[in-house]
Structure 1
Amino acid sequence: MLERPVEMFDREREWTALSAFVTDPQPGALLGVVSGRRRQGKTFLLRSLCQATGGFYFPADEAADRESLNRLGALLGEFTGAPAPLALDGWHQAIDALLGLGRERRIPVVIDEFPYLVRANPQIPSVIQNALAPLRAERDESSASLLLCGSAMSFMGRLLSGNAPLRGRAGLELVVPTLDHRLAAEFWGIEHHATALMVNAIVGGTPAYRREFARDDTPAGPDDFDAWVVRTVLSPTSPLFREARYLLADEPDLRDAGLYHSVLAAIASGNASRGGIASFLGRKAGDLAHPLTVLEDCGLVTRDPDAFRDNRTMFRIAEPLVAFYHAVMRPIWSDLEHTRDAGRLWQRSRRRFVGNVLGPHFEQVCRYWARHLAGPEVFGDYPNRVASGAVNDPASRTSHEVDVAVFGLDDDNRQPLLAIGEVKWGEVMGTAHLDRLRHIRTLLTAQRRPGAGTARLACFSGAGFTPELREAATGDPGVVLIDLPTLYEPPAP
């Protein structure tokens, strides 16, 4: 495997996959697709890959088709040592020239921001399909590893799907994700867990937001968090100030920007169901099928099925900065642009931040931890699915929300319930929370949910637990207490 650059933080899985792809010994040209939201470090990964292997890197621009061909010809001429830029008559010739770089050895050939090229010339995927056709000399005699990279998630998601020209041609499909809460805290250098979680609730795990956008300005501690928000996120001179608006503008499928902003604002205000969003917008629920699907395809919204009701779905904003913008910044946007006292506006908006951003984000972090980071000893088995949901209570004619429902997977392909949990960010949890979970477990047992009778009861808290609750959990594996150190610190080996 290629040696990973020392300045690269994490991305071991991605570097390993790319290294294997560009050193594959099999003959013939290969095609790979790399995608991910903006600012995740895709360009740094691919540039580093080309530097390590002597590969070719072409960064596409928003430009006319002819200009892009001219730029590509100039870079190819420079790369091959030609006395003049290559004259490319069209993309058939251009793709063959790129494949020709691999006649002597396996070499990565990267086209970054590929969607820009296709926007100017929609025929390019078909051209690549034809260039990579079996038994074609240019493909069989080449050892080029062609990598197409892009940040427009809706476009990149369709590139290899359905009846798309490149379906079945790619030997690598790599999505570069955001850093999870643990890695993000390490990357930002924040050791105080509550501060790390609050920062993560605003900027998520996007690496560029620390380096380029915040210029390595991190909160010095919990007492500096409010000041950090004011100077780094709410300041009109900071790149983070308008970033959420630009994220939507970058997606070519979001043509009616006002509608999509309104849908996101509805979700950020706590209207997570399709009916709630429709009521917020004053529209029929059926009218929202298309915009919600587009936002999902763009990776801005996630559809979460209810853990206990098959016909109930909740929507969640997947990008923390977008959720923060719509919940906190958008309602006071004009004031933020013109005020000299952003601190006052922040204090006025802090309750919205805690209720509409921080609380839901903490719940999602807890579900992520339960699904991906908790060992089998925590819930008695390996978690296979984690969700939230509502449990009917016929006697009281109400329903109870369950923040974390953990399901396993048995040998008969059934999903027994392993645990149910409640999440509180700013509240010290006590035995009353445990009693509530016991009542919900009784309801689920009466509904004959597999595993409900032995499901563990989990309390997730950002503020801690009362001595009585800790005593109740002592020596009882059926009661699980998860605090911030547990969520952030890996268990001792």
Structure 2
Amino acid sequence: MFVNREEELGILTDLYQKKKSVLFVLYGRRRTGKTTLLKKFIEDKDKSVYFLADTQLEQENMRRFRSMTADGLGDSAISDLSLSWEGIFRYIVSFAKGRKKKTTIIVDEFQYLVNSNPAVPSIFQRLWDEILDGAPVMLILCGSLIGMMYKTTLSYQSPLYGRRSGELLMKPMGFYGFRRFFETENFENLLKTYSFTGGVPRYIEDVDERLSCEENIRRNILIKGSPFQNEPKFILAEEIDAPNTYFSILSAIAHGEHKVGNIAKRLWMKVQGLNRYLERLRELDLVGRDVPVTEKNPAKSKKGLYKIKDNFFRFWFRFVFPNMSHIELGNYDVVLRSICQGLDRFCSSVYEDVALEIVQDHIKTGRIKEDFNSFGRWWSKDVEIDLVAISPDWRHILVGECKWTNQPVSYEVLKKLKSKALLLRNVLTNRDVRITYAIFSKNGFSRDMISSKPRDLLLFEQDTLV
């Protein structure tokens, strides 16, 4: 199912339409829709080669690549060629030069070729320099192991460095892309589902919207044979040689330890040793480091908080990983009760992330007629503001509070938000700043909040501007 990847498709299409030859690198973790995007891209191209590498020996992959090339170009004569990368690519170039349109060659799961022969990046560098560069071709190298793809195709040490025409890290989609998979408009159900699938298309596609959120969790994550019960184990095992420490770090973050010192203390590690693991998790795009949006030099800020970026990983390490013994014993109801007890609190942090998307979408579509270009959160020792947006000249800020509760939000919440905003204003260089307030509520607002709403207040019931 091709959903919400129009921007990525446009990037590929624009490069294809350029007159010069193109070498493009597409990478990202598994199940984010890379292969679906590539197949959509070549859907309307009459002559193209799509090859999915596997874990066999290089010669077997080469033999399959030759066969797929014959099928893609509609010429069985290639089957008589000697078995070599150079011979196959020379044939492709000779074929491409006889056409008016560019010929596309896709090598999916490129990392498997590298595993079978570490010299493959050097081989492809020579093929590009001597055969493909200058020819009417578009070569796309795609891979699911972020670390290996970066090392073998993008890093300065890679033989292919400096030769690519473009690159794209395929990330999970946001909430607005996620919701396009579903017919329902029930925001609460959608956000609960998003809290455990995140924006990964493969996880989303297995959700049955006829069932409750809890039943989908049971079927897709908890029970034996469910498709994603051990997904984080497989992903980390592919990317990392010894994942035990990484599991402990992710578990600590999922259970509320966001400061590097607190994570180190929980795991009985030294901060210096922990930083190496955190940096690796950031490279894999699994963990992010947040700093207050007002920090002038985020990289050097001492206020950094670590957060699992992916909802599915966050959910799995919060609820599934600690309960693996129960799951192995088949005590699914015990685990599900634990999930249900903590799900609303878990969803509240997800709602904060979604609220940021909501504000950005309202700005983009003109429903909020202000210019903000810095977005994030803000906190000091005892105060936290869920959402902050700052104008380019720092003369206007928007501060937001999110409430994922079963009661309508009262005017008291606005009073507390204004108190927090004053503390934020005091740390700004320019204190002559205009403040707009935004409150997001799962279950609406009290009568006094609606009746006495000031002009500088935006009220969002779920995702709708009231």
Partner of 1:480: 458
Residue type of the alignment partner of 2:37: L
Residue matched to 1:441? 421
Shift of 1:230: 2.2
Q: How much has 1:205 moved relative to structure 2?
A: 1.8
Correspondence for 2:354: 365
Quick check: 1:109–1:147 contact (8 Å CA) kept in 2? yes
The residue aligned with 2:79 is 84
What does residue 284 of structure 2 align with? Answer: 298
Is the 2:3–2:180 contact (alpha carbons within 8 Å) kept by the matching residues of 1?
no
Could you tell me whether the CA contact under 8 Å between 1:22 and 1:107 is conserved in 2? no
Give the Cα–Cα distance (whole angstroms) in 2 for the partners of residues 377 and 45 of structure 1. 30
- Whole-Å separation in 2 of the counterparts to 1:44 and 1:83: 27
SS in 2 for 1:418: strand
- Please state if 1:288 is matched with 2:297: no
Task: Provide the rounded CA distance (Å) in 1 between the counterparts of 2:306 and 2:432.
Answer: 26
> 1:322 is matched with which residue: 289, 313, 318?
313
State the match for 2:440 in structure 1.
Answer: 460
Which residue identity lines up with residue 234 of structure 2 in the other structure? Y
Is residue 197 of structure 1 aligned with residue 177 of structure 2?
Answer: no
Relative to 1, partners in 2 of residues 1:101 and 1:202: Cα closer, same or farther, differing over 3 Å? farther
In 1, Cα distance between equivalents of 2:199 and 2:169: 15
- SS state at 2:8 partner: helix
**Matching residue of 2:257:** 271
Q: Letter of the aligned partner of 2:332 in structure 1?
A: A
Does the C-alpha gap of structure 1 residues 375 and 102 become closer, same or farther in structure 2, counting only changes over 3 Å?
closer
Distance 1:303 1:67, change over 3 A: same
For residues 448 and 250 of structure 1, the distance between their equivalents in structure 2, rounded to whole angstroms, comes to 45
Does the Cα contact within 8 Å between 2:397 and 2:435 map onto a contact in 1? yes
Partner residue of 1:422?
401
Matched, 1:46 2:32: no
Which residue matches 2:120? 124
Distance 1:183 1:139 in 2: 36
Question: 1:273 & 1:121 partners in 2: Cα distance?
Answer: 41
1:65 maps to 2:58:
yes
Cα deviation for residue 56 of structure 1 reads: 0.4
Q: CA deviation at 1:112?
A: 0.3
Structure 1 residue 100: Cα displacement: 4.2
Q: CA deviation at 1:284?
A: 1.4
What is the number of residues matched between the two proteins?
454
Counterpart amino acid of 2:372? P
1:125 Cα deviation after fit: 2.3
Give 1:389 shift: 2.2
State the SS of the aligned residue for 2:402. Answer: strand
**For the residues of structure 1 that align with 2:401 and 2:238, how far apart are their CA atoms?**
37
Contact 1:430 1:465 in 2 (8 A): yes
Q: Normalising by the residue count of structure 2, what TM-score does the alignment of the two structures yield?
A: 0.89
Give 1:337 shift: 2.4
Give the C-alpha shift of residue 379 in structure 1: 6.0
Match of 1:179? 173
Note the residue ranges of structure 2 that are not aligned, 5 or more in a row: 296-300
Map of 1:29-428 to 2, 5 A cutoff?
29-53=21-45, 54-79=47-72, 80-82=75-77, 84=79, 86-89=81-84, 91-105=85-99, 106-133=102-129, 136=130, 139-140=133-134, 142-158=135-151, 159-211=153-205, 214=206, 217-220=208-211, 224-251=212-239, 254-309=240-295, 310-339=301-330, 341-355=331-345, 357-375=346-364, 381-391=370-380, 399-410=382-393, 415-426=394-405, 428=408
* Structure 1 residues 277 and 379, CA gap change in structure 2 (3 angstroms): farther
Supply the distance in 2 between the matched residues of 1:138 and 1:454 (Cα, whole angstroms): 57
Aligned to 1:13: 7
Indicate conservation of the 8 Å contact 2:90/2:131, yes or no: no
Aligned partner of residue 61 in structure 1, secondary structure: coil
Whether the 8 Å contact between 1:308 and 1:390 is mirrored in structure 2 is no
- The Cα RMSD (Å) is 2.5
| Structure 1 residue identity aligned to 2:197 | V
d(CA) in 2 for partners of 1:195, 1:390: 30
Deviation at 1:380, TM superposition (A): 5.5
Asked whether the equivalents of residues 99 and 144 of structure 1 are also in contact (C-alpha less than 8 Å), the reply is yes
Bigger shift: 398-407 or 198-207? 398-407
Q: How many percent identity over aligned positions?
A: 25
Offset of 1:373 from its aligned partner?
Answer: 4.4
- SS for the counterpart of 1:469 is helix
Deviation, 1:335, is 0.8
* Distance (whole Å) between structure 2 residues aligned to residue 318 and residue 129 of structure 1: 34
Aligned position for 1:3: none
Matching residue of 1:4: none
Change (3 A) 1:291 1:459: same
After superposition, give the CA deviation of every residue in 1:375-415 in whole Å (9 maximum; x if it has no partner): 58666622212111213xxxxxx5211111111213xxxx4
How far, CA to CA, are the matches of 2:395 and 2:368 in structure 1? 12
For residue 388 of structure 1, give the secondary structure of its aligned residue in structure 2.
strand
CA contact (8 A) 1:376 1:382 kept: no
